[in-house]
Structure 1
Amino acid sequence: MRIRAKIFLFIFITSFLVFALVIGYIIFDYRTYSIEEANRQATAYARHASTFIKSTLEQDLAVCATLSQGFKDYDKIPGELREGIYKDVLKNVLNAHQEYLSVWMSWELRFIDKSYTQKYGRKRTVAVRESGTVNFYIDTTEVYGDSYGSPYYESKQSGNDILMNPYYYVYSQTEGGDSILETSVAKPIIIDTEFAGIVGIDITLSRFDDIVERIKPFDGSYAYLLSNDGTIISSHNKINVGDSIAKVYPGFVQADVYGKIKEGRSFPFEFNDSTGFSNFVSLEPVFVGNSPSPWSVCLIVPSKIIEEEAQRYFKRSLAIGVIGIFIFSIITLLIARRITLPLKRTTSILKDLDKGIIDVSKKLKVRSKDELAEMGRSLNNLLDTLQKTADFARKIGEGNFNAHYKALSEHDVLGNALIDMQLNLQKGQELEEIRQLERKS
């Protein structure tokens, strides 16, 4: 194997292995990182959406809080005027907020009727927008006892705000009105630490559709807004609205999604859908006021979408790696050529010298100052020296015993031997001249 091939193989293979290991590690590590980062991004997106929805609902709750605070002074208003004033307030609020379906209030009877002593029973006043007109519905309910388990009863017992699970309601029933999926937010009226009633707002859930549709951090991802009982409030697929999330994704039951929603927990997990594909899911709670019934934003990202992004990076990195190895191989070949070309020429000169050929025209061109250059200069000097030695020997052979020759150093074996030979020949010539003179005399 030629030295160029040896240099190329040893350097290239070693460097290739190191390069491949480094690139492989970077690609694998980044793939893991990119998937984790995509999951974090999805979670952050869901959290941002939950914050926005929370802000929207708390604006509604703030309206309820304002009404609740204002109604606390009910006893300062004469009874015969109170109902008319409250109806005007409810109507004004409803007219000021076209997104509201109705504004309502309920009073515990014992607070507005001093003759009523029971701790149950309430008067309900509802302002409803129907066919462009605000109508009022007033009734008395629960006079035979509290409705245990109802949102009103829970708020009455705890003093907490209300964020109801979605329900269908038909407005303008006499006119054949459509069934509307809505929810209610409400604020209790607390007077001297006692529950005196509640003020609430009914809102259509379609108002959240635009928000949910914008929750799309990746192509192919989609989101749901879920109530505390797992009902789909808003979805990219309108057919699913009003259904249970477990009906759409039975696998959610195994992940105890219902429990996580009720607890208001942030919960990322993975599950396989009915087609067998893996999906990343991020649940982010939507807390409103001090309601114990948070909603949740559910963002679903097909794992293949995340992995495709990582795969694209892998292909780009692999292409860059291949290009890098190609460039490196060319550089290695150039370096090997730079090293072996002077060696090849040196070998050619040495082979000539081995045959006794001294060809000064083959002297190496030396430009650098490295070890190869030093070797080249030394070889050039050797050629010059051998050429001078040959010229000197040729002159001696022609009888010119006085030819000039200078040894390279005191250790120059060949040069000093030639000089000794020259001196001996000169002495021999002098002795021959003396003998010739003696014969003539």
Structure 2
Amino acid sequence: MKWNWNWFKDLKLLTKIQITIFFVSTMIQAILAITSYYQGKSLLEEKAFQFLENLTASRKKAIESYFTDLQKQAIVLGQNPVTIDALFAFQKTFQSSKNEIDGTELLSVVAKVKSFYENDFLPKLIYNSLNQYTLNRFIPTDKEVLALQYHFIANNPNPVGYKSKFTGEGVPLSYAEPHKKYHKAFLSYLTTFDFYDLMLVDLKGNVLYTVQKEVDFASNFITSVYRNSNAAKVFLKAASSSKKDEVVFADYDHYEPSYYKPNSFLAVPIFDNDAKVGVLVLQIATERIDQIITNNLQWEKDGLGTSGEVAMIGPDYKVRTNTRSLLSDVVAYTNALRDRKVVDSVTLQRIKRMNTTILLRIVSSKAIQSALSGKVGSSISSDFRGNEVMDVYTPVNFLGVQWAMITEIDAAEIFSSVYNFRNQLLLMSAIIFVLQTFVGFFLARGLSRPMLKIKNDIKLLSEGIFPPIKKKIYKDELGEIRDALNKLIVNTMQASEFAENIGKGNFGFTFSAKSSQDVLGRSLIDMRDNLRKVSFEESVRSWLNTGKANFNELLRENSENFEELGKAVISSLVKYLGALQGAFFIYREEDQRLTMIGSYANNRQKYLERNLQVGEGLVGQVYLEKETLYLEDVPDTYTQITSGLGETKPRSILIVPVKGENQVVYGVIEIASLEKFEDYRIQFVEEIAETIANTLIIVSTNEQTQSLLSKADETKVSLVEQNQKVETIEQQLKETSKKLQEKEVLLLNAQSEIERQIIRHKSNQKVLRKTYTRLRRQEKMAQKQLTDTQERETELLYEIEQLKIQVEDLQSQLASITASRST
């Protein structure tokens, strides 16, 4: 059908122009609106993906750094002499525990342990796992396991979850002595380095020691019910390793001793010189991984808004971290899982009861599959609620295990500003549609040319090309549009330059949001601030971990005497802190004074042979008050610092008490510097001071051991005397047994005589009665003598057993003294 244009020819020119302008302006308006919307959306999507990629890379670096630190800490602790000594001490007393409970006590021990499993352990395990378990599956039968679990778990005065607070005071087992000696140090290590539990296991699989005192304590990773757990698997791998610094890792699995909660483990073999003697197993705390991934639940500060999160998924497609929805609102999250039937009812109950999604959510999207295959990328997909989300994914590798890290955020939240712009654009279009009918005649030529130029600039901008800034010609709305477009170009260029500098690590680059509603600008600033904070925290964490590892090695190498220890500690500490002067005092019990055992300064002579009374000066006051003293207002009387430029007064002084877990102060460290001490450096010195205190205790113990050696000969003499006494008692027992046999012969003879008298004197009843009465009396006397003899025999046996126990104790003490001498 051919269109008839005659009606248009008959219209007046003004009407034609208005109609033409109307259609042309409408088309231009539509083109500009649609182009601006989609190109703006595309640009925002690109920037959002760039932000998510930067955040994902930052989280990946943080989690890999965390696992690397765990590996280093495991190696250092596994090679620490304290760990080796503790393993030998626990191994020596572990087996003897079964001989330290008698038969009558064993019944009450079994009853108490069974009560704990029945009333405390099993109900909580069944509640969390929703599995059916029998009591006989877990109840131990070996006497040493019963004895240790009775005293340290079942009879432990602390409730479940706080059993680690019990040091072993009052436990009548030889195992309690090494436990009291080493437990506080291991508990402090767990608190400092964010592990959940620490285990010492011998090569036979016996769990000699744990900090948390869960039911895996004293069990066996080879023969017990836990032999198929991931803790047992990581033990077997480490036990078969021939390398001192080889750390093995077991991925997450439900761990029954921890009430079915998901746990992962690290293990490293323990060597005494070149001989492998055991395995150190470390149970990783899931809370610390969640803190790193969520930045301590600060999603919005990280620029993830109200819906974004970072998650970790294992090779089995099960999540390894708790999701943001669970941490924010567990009820709403579980209801969403239930309504959409994402998990079965049993799994849903486990999520509610254990308040975790680790190993309980399966995520097998294409992004996760790509990350687990080693790919890095981004995509737009749908989550389990059906919402469109933007994903950025990358693989994470640690000790042979590959996880997937995915960062996602709802697309609706990212594009909210674009959607607002679209709605505003539609409103403006409706208004312009009405107005353009009346003003079309006046805007016919004025609109077409500048609008086309603006369109071209916007198109270039959407393609990532920055058009040149054009001079504002019009003073009307077109001029304002040009001005706004110029600002948009400038702002986009500044944002791009800012993002590029942030990517290069230039966090000092100046950039500011254009308004309070500038979502992209504020997001970029938040990203810059968070990345700068993460970078600073990472450098501080690396500095602290390096310092702790170095000082642990230094303390291990200088634990022979106080003088070597003092010189090495104060010299290394002053250098590591960047200070110029320091001194190390210890408290001497014999003269009740603080004695300097090490100093570091350009002019050492002014510190040599310096002793202080308790309470004298700043050092003496810190010793009394047991608290760190930090001064920036340094007294004029304080020692001057000598440098290449002359002598000057220090700007700051740090004085830290060297105190142990029991709050006993063993010495004081004094450091002076020309610079201020940051808080984390003060905290570092305080933590190192605690480790130094433990080393001072070890040095003091070594000196006391030398004095104990002199008593070894006396102990040997006493042991010989006790053996002679045992031999004498055994000889008496033999003689008593011989007499008992003679009495039994007399009794048999008496009974035979009775029978003969009955046959011989049947006719004489009177004589028979008298004879029978006399013989019965003799029989009773013989039986009484037999009873007395048996009671005496029992007493002698009891005395022999007591003497044997004393002999074993003396032999154990002698062996301990000999072992200490060899060490």
TM-score if structure 1 supplies the norm length? Answer: 0.52
Cα gap change, 1:198 to 1:286, in 2 (>3 Å)? farther
From 188, 195, 204, the equivalent of 1:95 is 188
Q: Distance in 1 between matches of 2:445 and 2:383?
A: 60
**Alignment of structure 1 residues 26-425 onto 2, 5 Å:** 26-70=36-80, 91-98=184-191, 99-106=194-201, 109=203, 124-130=207-213, 137=217, 142=222, 150-154=233-237, 156=240, 159=246, 161-162=248-249, 164-170=251-257, 179-187=260-268, 198-210=279-291, 211-212=293-294, 213-215=297-299, 217-232=304-319, 233-235=321-323, 236-237=325-326, 239=351, 241-246=357-362, 249=363, 252=364, 255=366, 257=368, 260-261=371-372, 263=373, 265-266=375-376, 268-273=378-383, 276-288=386-398, 291-319=399-427, 333-334=441-442
Q: Separation in 2 of the partners of 1:61 and 1:33?
A: 42
Residues 44 and 8 of structure 1, relative CA distance in 2, 3 Å threshold: same
Cα distance per residue 1:278-332 (max 9 Å; x no partner): 44444444444xx111344444434444454532232244445666777877775
Cα distance in 1, alignment partners of residues 419 and 269 from structure 2: 54
Q: In structure 2, what is the equivalent of residue 423 of structure 1?
A: none
Q: C-alpha distance in 2, partners of 1:268/1:292? A: 25
User: Closer, same or farther in 2 for the Cα pair 1:7/1:199, shift >3 Å?
Assistant: same
- Cα deviation for residue 93 of structure 1 reads 3.9
Q: What is the count of residue pairs matched by the alignment? A: 307
1:200-237: CA deviation from partner (whole Å, max 9, x where unpaired): 42133234445534446133344544344333332232
From the two aligned structures, give the one with the greater helix fraction: 2
Residue 94 of structure 1 and its aligned partner are, at CA, apart by 2.6
Ranges in structure 1 where 5+ consecutive residues have no aligned partner: 110-120, 172-177, 339-441
Give the drift of 1:95: 1.7
Q: Distance in 2 between matches of 1:275 and 1:309?
A: 22
Q: CA RMSD in A?
A: 5.0
Supply the distance in 2 between the matched residues of 1:294 and 1:87 (Cα, whole angstroms): 40
CA contact (8 A) 1:184 1:200 kept: yes
Cα deviations across residues 69-120 of structure 1 (Å, max 9, x unaligned)? 4369969x9967998999966752432433433223456x4xxxxxxxxxxx
Q: Unpaired runs of 5+ in structure 2? A: 1-10, 93-176, 331-350, 447-823
Mapped to 2, the partners of 1:36 and 1:129 lie a distance apart of 49
SS in 2 for 1:129: coil
| CA displacement at 1:193 relative to structure 2 | 11
Q: Secondary structure in 1 aligned to 2:316?
A: coil
Which amino acid in the other structure matches residue 203 of structure 1? I
Report the Cα distance in structure 2 between the residues aligned to 1:81 and 1:243, rounded to whole angstroms.
35
Maintained 8 Å contact 1:271/1:280: yes
Percent sequence identity is: 13
Q: Quick check: which has more Rg, 1 or 2? A: 1
**Structure 1 residue 18: deviation in Å?**
3.7
